[in-house]
Amino acid sequence: MRQLWQTGWMHNRVRMVTASFLIKNLLLDWREGERWFWDTLVDADPANNAANWQWVAGSGVDAAPFFRVFNPVLQSRKFDPDGTYLRRWLPELRDLDDKAIHEPQGVPGYPEQMVDLKVTRAEALRAFESISG
């Protein structure tokens, strides 16, 4: 989110992970994220922005992967194994080793984990199951 706020841009992978976290782990309405990204992205496109948020939310016309919940820690480890991206945008974590940077705990000035990813993933899947009949 710091990259988006400072530059008006985020890589597509980070956009998907962010959208998944906001929608599925925090159970925020996808339209909240869509509005924030619309106001912040320099490359915002009316159709792509809404369609991408609906795709992640599992509510659009191409909503087959509604059950997909991206784990931000696993995505970070897979696509930024040495923490280069994290160190650039989260300088307070720059001194952590390559493993610890993906799940920082107890770093002064850095927030504690907001939610338990396993618990919130299960809650999201239960919510989707309850409406998918």
For residue 60, pLDDT over 80 is answered with no
pLDDT of residue 53: 92
For residue 114, pLDDT over 80 is answered with yes
| Domain 2-132, CATH | 1.10.579.10
Dist CA 27 CA 128 (whole Å): 11
Global pTM reads 0.91
Dist CA 73 CA 118 (whole Å): 11
| % of the chain surpassing 90 pLDDT | 78
Return the domain boundaries, the chain.
2-132
Instruction: Label residue 113 by pLDDT band (50, 70, 90).
Output: very high
